[in-house]
């Protein structure tokens, strides 16, 4: 099958050809015709399958064919994403594929000044890509009007629910026209996602191109048992001895990411950290340097697990296993994308054996072990409990009043920031 057979316009086919693509991925070949028909969809696809183009291309075609009222552009399509990086990635795809169409788009997310976004919106846009928090900031300042939305896309919907955005999503949905097309994309189909789909979608087409919670078969996986105190030494040895470049390394905490990046730099390996406490400028610079091979290692927390799109990324390293098994799938999904092969290795100490079992249970398979000579773990070391920086499920679960549980003083401060609209540049 080729893109020519999917019913896309000449302008879109030209933009696709500019990118060097000729054949659609499975999720694209299944979703594009359905979206062009105007139907709602519930799509499940593992990361790296090309789902962004799967909804962007037909969305652009439908918008270019729809009638507009008045001379001023109004926001007619809204794409919601959980993270800044993913918003930037989707926004870039929209810009790339709309090159030959008379459509304008904008991206809004927190961590950067809001005024340039306001100016862009004043000029009028057809497509808006946004994170929930910053979108609500704009709505509170009356710089965004959602009354003309014709297409809504929830991208990485499961991640948005995991991050506690359900209340924000409900607020946004309440501001949209009832008559619209809804496209829900999720890497997993949890019970929460199914409940959201039942309320949001009307007779949706179900598209599932990979087994739920599965890892790409193009990614080779390997476990290296090692003592916790020797992980950094082993990582430096692997990078140096195998002459790796472009290595994406995941840690559990922001502090751990900073510390590891500093240690690698002392070992003579250029590295940078990327996480939620970094400014958007610092995150953008680190990612740009990594893509351009100015630095060899990018150390990230799970905020980056779904928002990074790096062409032909060869190596993903789990320096620490994630507390949530599904995050392992999203982490290693950064490699082996767009038909390329990738490699994912995990440095596992005795403290993480239970986390490893949970991951293998999710994958329904054992991950091969490889003991590196000189780094064999000491069998006398006993497992210690892993300190969780924050229990995501507990902190984001709404109480009866619908608010995430938080200290009363923090809640008052939060409301004050929302009212002033000055400092609410949260990691959304």
Buried b or exposed e, range 312-339, using 16+ CB within 10 angstroms: ebbbbbbbbbbbbbbbbbbbbbbbbbee
Q: Is residue 399 part of a domain?
A: no
Q: Is residue 190 part of a domain?
A: yes
Residues 253 and 147 in one domain: no
Residues 180 and 244 in one domain: no
Residue 78 has pLDDT above 70, yes or no: yes
Residues 91 and 63 in one domain: yes
Residues 174 and 235 in one domain: no
Residues 203 and 240 in one domain: no
Mean pLDDT of 1-8: 90
Specify the higher pLDDT residue, 315 or 306: 315
User: What is the reported pTM?
Assistant: 0.67
Residue 333 — very low, low, confident or very high, per pLDDT cuts 50/70/90?
A: confident
Residues 277 and 176 in one domain: no
Closest to 53 (Cα-Cα) out of 132, 180, 153, 190: 153
Q: CA-to-CA distance for 217 and 41, rounded, in angstroms?
A: 25
Residue 416 — very low, low, confident or very high, per pLDDT cuts 50/70/90?
A: very low
Residues 276 and 344 in one domain: yes
Report pLDDT for 422.
40
Residues 255 and 181 in one domain: no
CATH of the domain at 293: 3.40.50.300
Among the listed ranges 115-119, 129-133, 412-416, which one has the minimum average pLDDT value?
412-416
Report pLDDT for 96.
96
Report pLDDT for 215.
65
Q: Is residue 197 part of a domain?
A: yes
Residues 286 and 180 in one domain: no
- DSSP three-state, residue 386: coil
Report pLDDT for 414.
38
Report pLDDT for 1.
77
Domain end point (choices 334, 363, 392): 363
Specify the higher pLDDT residue, 187 or 147: 147
Q: Is residue 119 part of a domain?
A: yes
pLDDT for 13-35, tens place per residue? 999 999 888 889 889 999 999 99
Specify the higher pLDDT residue, 309 or 2: 2
Q: Is residue 406 part of a domain?
A: no
List residues bridging with 154 in a β-sheet. Answer: 80, 184
Q: Give one DSSP letter per residue of 142-159, joined into a string.
A: T----TT--EEEETTHHH
Report pLDDT for 307.
62
Closest to 220 (Cα-Cα) out of 343, 367, 369: 343
What is the average pLDDT score of the chain?
Answer: 85
Q: Is residue 175 part of a domain?
A: yes
Q: Using only C-alpha atoms, what is the Rg of the chain?
A: 22
Residue 425 — very low, low, confident or very high, per pLDDT cuts 50/70/90?
A: very low
Residue 294 and residue 328 in contact, taking contact as beta carbons nearer than 8 Å: no
Residues 262 and 161 in one domain: no
Range among 301-315, 328-342, 404-418 rated most confident = 328-342
**Percentage of the chain surpassing pLDDT 70?**
86
Report pLDDT for 15.
96
Q: Give one DSSP letter per residue of 43-66, joined into a string.
A: EE--TTSSHHHHHHHHHHHHHHHS
Residue 315 and residue 246 in contact, taking contact as beta carbons nearer than 8 Å: yes
- Both tokens assigned to 36: 């062009």
Specify the higher pLDDT residue, 262 or 392: 262
Q: Is residue 376 part of a domain?
A: no
Residues 136 and 272 in one domain: no
Domain end point (choices 208, 229, 262): 208
pLDDT for 254-282, tens place per residue? 999 999 999 999 999 999 999 878 887 88
Domain end point (choices 317, 348, 363): 363
- Domain count for the chain, please give it: 2
Q: CA-to-CA distance for 224 and 121, rounded, in angstroms?
A: 50
Give the residue numbers spanning the domain of 350. Answer: 219-363
Q: Is residue 372 part of a domain?
A: no
Paired sense of beta strands 297-300 and 271-274, if any:
parallel
Report pLDDT for 417.
41
Residues 224 and 204 in one domain: no
Specify the higher pLDDT residue, 2 or 319: 319
């Amino acid at each position: 099958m080729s893109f020519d057979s999917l019913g896309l316009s000449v302008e879109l086919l030209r933009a696709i050809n500019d990118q060097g693509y000729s054949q659609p991925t499975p999720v694209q070949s299944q979703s594009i015709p359905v979206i062009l028909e105007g139907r709602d969809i519930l799509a499940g696809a593992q990361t790296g399958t090309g789902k962004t183009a799967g909804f962007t291309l037909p969305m652009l075609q439908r918008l270019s064919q729809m009638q507009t009222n008045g001379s001023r552009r109004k926001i007619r399509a809204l794409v919601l994403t959980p993270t800044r990086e993913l918003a930037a990635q989707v926004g870039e795809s929209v810009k790339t594929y709309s090159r030959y169409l008379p459509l304008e788009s904008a991206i809004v997310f927190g961590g950067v000044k809001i005024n340039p976004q306001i100016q862009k919106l004043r000029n009028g846009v057809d497509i808006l890509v946004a994170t929930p928090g910053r979108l609500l900031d704009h709505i509170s300042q009356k710089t965004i009007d959602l009354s003309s939305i014709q297409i809504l896309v929830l991208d990485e919907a499961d991640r948005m629910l995991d991050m506690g955005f359900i209340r924000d999503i409900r607020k946004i949905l309440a501001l949209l026209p009832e008559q619209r097309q809804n496209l829900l994309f999720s890497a997993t189909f949890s019970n929460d996602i199914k409940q959201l789909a039942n309320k949001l979608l009307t007779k949706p087409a179900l598209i599932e191109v990979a087994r739920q919670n599965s890892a790409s078969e193009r990614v080779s996986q390997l476990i290296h048992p090692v003592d916790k105190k020797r992980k950094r030494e082993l990582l430096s040895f692997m990078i140096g001895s195998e002459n790796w470049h472009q290595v994406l390394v995941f840690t559990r905490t922001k502090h751990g990411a900073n510390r590891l990046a500093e240690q690698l730099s002392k070992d003579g390996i250029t590295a940078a950290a990327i996480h939620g406490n970094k400014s958007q400028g610092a995150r953008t610079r680190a990612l740009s340097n990594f893509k351009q091979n100015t630095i060899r290692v990018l150390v990230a927390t799970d905020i980056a697990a779904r928002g990074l799109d790096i062409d032909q990324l060869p190596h993903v390293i789990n320096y620490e296993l994630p507390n949530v098994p599904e995050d392992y799938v999203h982490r290693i999904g950064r490699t082996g994308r767009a038909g390329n092969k990738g490699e994912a290795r995990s440095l596992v100490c005795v403290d993480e054996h239970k986390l490893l079992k949970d991951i293998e249970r999710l994958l329904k398979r054992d991950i091969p072990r490889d003991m590196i000579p000189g780094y064999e773990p000491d069998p006398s070391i006993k497992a210690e409990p892993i300190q969780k920086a924050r229990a995501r499920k507990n902190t984001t679960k709404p109480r009866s009043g619908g608010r995430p549980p938080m200290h009363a003083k923090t809640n008052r401060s939060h409301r004050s920031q929302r009212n002033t609209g000055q400092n609410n540049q949260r990691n959304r």
